[in-house]
Chain A
Amino acid sequence: EVQLLESGGGLVQPGGSLRLSCTVSGLTFSDHAMSWVRQAPGKGLEWVSTLSVGTYYADSVQGRFIISRDNSKSTLHLQMNSLRGEDTGLYFCAQMGSAWGGWFNNWGPGTLVTVSS
């Protein structure tokens, strides 16, 4: 069974930084592209970033967020800098179907990020 578990969320002031992590088990981590998707409170889903054969970011986070992975630890990271109130939300990591991308096959339960003074 594939399992994903995010961590690292919390309360941070505007302009601050936070590093999210997602540990994955039940599959060969290095064989799959990975993504972050977020959901503002009471709102819909918003794609944030994907790490596959390339690295992709939503315009809203480009230049502020950095996605990375440690295949030896089956872990995905999201370094979030210069945080804004509109970054508040539940952050999901998602495993994609192949190394080059595909669909969001499996999701973690999410970690909550709150940006507020």
Chain B
Amino acid sequence: EIVLTQSPATLSLSPGERATLSCRASHDVHGYIAWYQQRPGQAPRLLIWDASNRATGIPAKFSGSWSGTDFTLTISSLEPEDFAVYYCQQRSDWPLTFGGGTKVE
């Protein structure tokens, strides 16, 4: 099973600041990582797919990058609605797995 380790668990920032979230895979996932945002009381929403592609309707302030087994989600300038929990997920192999999440507060 591919384990995804997200860091930090909590990121304390202010509106307007830049957020950098990390996700490390235990094995090569060939870039097959997605990022999801989950606001309180809501279902997750796909933000980034295949490590660096924004999903439909996702603003340009969200960007993804990767190197080897290290993946990064960057939010360029935080707005109030961006304070949420973010999960990475891999589809390189079964079982599909999620990281433990990073809460941006």
Contacts and interface: CB of A to CB of B under 8 A. Distances in A.
B43 A50 contact: no
A105 B89 contact: no
Interface string B32-58: 001010100011111001000001000
Given A104-B36, A105-B55, A47 B45 contact: no
Contacts of A58: 95
Nearest to A50: B96
Interface of A: 35, 37, 44-47, 50, 56, 58-59, 92, 97, 101-110
Contacts of B101: 44-45
B98 interface: yes
Interface residues of B, number: 21
A47 B44 contact: no
A47 B34 contact: no
A103 B43 contact: no
B97 interface: yes
Nearest to B32: A103
A61 B46 CA distance: 25
A111 B45 CA distance: 17
Given A44-B100, A47-B96, A105 B46 contact: yes
Given A103-B49, A103-B91, A45 B98 contact: yes
Interface string B11-48: 00000000000000000000000101010001111100
